[in-house]
Amino acid sequence: MPANVTFILGGAASGKSAYAEQLCLNSGKSRVYWATAQIFDSEMRAKVSRHLEQRGSGWTTVEEPETAARVLGVLAPGQICLMDCATMWLTNHLLADHDLQAAQDGLLAAVDQCRADLVIVSNETGLGIVPENALARRFREAQGRLNIALAARADTVVQVTAGLPLVLKGAL
């Protein structure tokens, strides 16, 4: 039986991660947190610490910045996995100068084959101004394509703004 995929979109500090965590808690399933961020400085270390404290106990955390199959390929029915977040995952690939289409294809294949329920968090980056540099424009375009592909596969898509959910696809 294919997994149920919920895709949560929102801007920075919109409440999307807290909302996604609550969905996982409410599921009653064994919870896995797929952390995609890499810690390179004290600011990110503090953010990760805040997220750990906010989540509380009862989560198995898997730190994997790039390879979706390593995380999603070992999950089982009865589990729910929160990927937080697709934006950091994409950034890791972009900055490593990987083939973004190949990376996206690998992620989507892993999502399709995952046997656990998934909650995927991602930033909506297309609502602002056109970035002034080529790298930022490349990122914005790649993030938009990734979000479109994930939303197409998801059973439910939710936009979170100011901590408030708006269902765009499916039902909660």
Mind telling me the catalytic residues? 51
Amino acid at 124: E
Distance CA 66, CA 162 (A): 29
Sheet of 59-63, strands arranged across = 59-63, 30-35, 79-84, 117-123, 5-10, 156-161, 164-169
| HSE-CB of 24 using CA atoms within 13 angstroms | 31
| HSE-CB of 72 using CA atoms within 13 angstroms | 26
Nearest one of 45, 133, 150 to 89, comparing CA atoms: 150
